[in-house]
Structure 1
């Protein structure tokens, strides 16, 4: 045996996976008392991945009851939820989606005390940042939205004012929206969204209604299964140059701040999609919808109820054949994959202001609070990379496979005079618990 090479013994190293593969519920129940429910095998599959792909419904529920992680990807980039959509059992999708949202809330609740203390330690401030969305898809850029966000912070409270109610790569909704986080309130009362046109507000609940989950499942079962991730391990930054004949490092004023420009190199968005669960009619409808989008129209019809698909024929694969396959190259265990993979390199720049009063660490804490807004999740993910010195006063990031965002920090100032009423719901607003179903 070559020195330094670890030889795995499947029977000994992955007994929980093997028990699930062989549908041995009794052994799985015994192993769950002593075994890591989130362990990954050589293919990156957790026990939950395997149970879902093999259609072991009873074991799926058993694993979820023991806290099996749902938001985890295998080597191929797929989560247990993605595999559940492929398999097509509605109840399994429901259980995974509900557990995923619960685990996300619990993770934020665990971070909550430290996050609130971090906010208290920051001075009070007012910040403006502008979003400009662009696309390489013809005609789409001209209809993409822009937005000027205003953020007030006082004590453990944050207020975000925005004109984008919801945004993804296929749909956006404009409005006059305020998001309020009150760190001093109880978790169930801390997040509130206001619609300033309708003069209504909604507390962001910790529990989703089953009807809301059903609607989300209808969309998932009718859409491509998507996995997109931004490759950041190979990102490098080089000083951008300006001038025709005499090249020099590019420096410009961004708002009130002098900024040094950098080119972002090796920024690659890896996109994968699968559609083995879709009928030819589904594929055609989705194609028409994307064509309408490129022409500037959006038909936001409600999706009809989707029933469970007929279970796929299980592959004639033994445990030894599965576990011995090359990492990430295991045989298909469920519905035969219909997949497509693409890589797109993004040309991006970032402008670092050396005298910006806020630090990146402070901004990351603020962005964690307003993470329910999808575009801010992408900004936070990118900001967690090791950036050049300074503060990114202007930055370009891919937010969806076809959409790039340019974010500019227009204005910042420390404030000591912010009134408390900025962080409370106006008295003339009424509560509407269903105004923002996606939050």
Structure 2
């Protein structure tokens, strides 16, 4: 059996910054392969996948933001956009074909978050989404537009997917009150890319997911002494059986080791500026956007390749900055109505 240290020659070459050996190995190795700790360093010229995560659930982009090298972050954002477009174009024919096979329909999806704390309940979102499907086309209507000053701003927004249009013209957003529309572009401008990099470097590194590991379903009942299965009219005409869903957990994690105390104080103003279409850092006297600079590299931890590769899975020594980390989870209950 091969020595543990020899099992990942590509990773070792990257770890030791051995460009000559890395160039040789790239000719015969799969750059998407993971070692037992981390995703392989993004060898972007060889189209390594950007969306992959390490065993702890962090993407390579998250690790790059933590390290703080702006050119690397910018390259990752561009490659992420490129690979996302390619995946959409690859999956698009199957999506259109599936939509054409499904019968046309109209559906209303009501959702809301609730809390026993009165003030919190006021700011939790709720909405009734209306979904229309016709052929290879889908329209989704929603009333939630923005969140500002601890209040959800309401409006009348429609998202329209036209499966028969060209890829860069297939998704349109309508503001039915302002009577304006915008085609969602496939490609971002250089300024939009750099704005996104500023945002990533100025805010928490976030990861969130809905966990369904402990999910369970229970038929809802009505009555005090003599209980019976509960039914209800949905949309005023569909007799439906009601089910309660338990064990739906929203897990969120955030890191901020790349942020200074000054950054944390400025975060709110920066985000407000960005969401209103402004530049995160402002402009200099010549009208050129002032961008976030790369951070100073973290101190060398003097970790050898053998120390790294022989560590327990998901307990590898930190090569970059020490984590400043917080995680939380919130359990939700949901109700599902199924037409009888």
State the TM bucket, normalised to the shorter chain.
0.7 to 0.9
The answer to which structure, 1 or 2, has the higher relative contact order (CA under 8 A, 6+ apart) is: 1
C-alpha displacement at 1:334, in angstroms? 0.6
Helix, strand or coil: the match of 2:312?
coil
Of 321, 332, 340, which aligns to 2:307? 321
Of 307, 327, 334, which aligns to 1:341? 327
Partners of 2:20 and 2:62 in 1: how far apart? 27
1:350 — aligned with what? 335
Judge conservation of contact 2:249–2:332 (CA < 8 Å) in 1. Answer: no
Partners of 2:247 and 2:143 in 1: how far apart? 32
Partners of 1:258 and 1:188 in 2: how far apart? 41
Structure 1 gap segments, 5+ residues each:
1-6, 49-59, 293-297, 356-439
1:312 — aligned with what? 298
1:163 — aligned with what? 143
Judge conservation of contact 1:259–1:351 (CA < 8 Å) in 2. Answer: no
1:34 — aligned with what? 28
Helix, strand or coil: the match of 1:76?
coil
Partners of 2:73 and 2:153 in 1: how far apart? 27
Of 245, 254, 265, which aligns to 1:273? 254
For residues 329-369 of structure 1, what are the alpha-carbon distances to aligned partners after superposition, in whole Å with 9 as ceiling and x for unaligned? 1111011211122333x1413324144xxxxxxxxxxxxxx
Tell me: CA distance 1:153–1:341, structure 2 relative to 1, closer, same or farther (3 Å).
Answer: closer
Aligned residues: 327
Partners of 1:190 and 1:226 in 2: how far apart? 30
Judge conservation of contact 1:178–1:195 (CA < 8 Å) in 2. Answer: yes
2:188 — aligned with what? 208
Judge conservation of contact 2:245–2:336 (CA < 8 Å) in 1. Answer: no
Judge conservation of contact 2:218–2:243 (CA < 8 Å) in 1. Answer: yes
Pairing 1:86–2:96 present: no
Partners of 2:166 and 2:122 in 1: how far apart? 43
1:105 — aligned with what? 85
TM-score (norm: length of structure 2): 0.84
Helix, strand or coil: the match of 2:119?
coil
C-alpha displacement at 1:325, in angstroms? 1.0
C-alpha displacement at 1:133, in angstroms? 4.3
1:259 — aligned with what? 240
Tell me: CA distance 1:248–1:159, structure 2 relative to 1, closer, same or farther (3 Å).
Answer: closer
Structure 2 gap segments, 5+ residues each:
282-290
Bigger CA drift: 76-85 or 208-217? 208-217
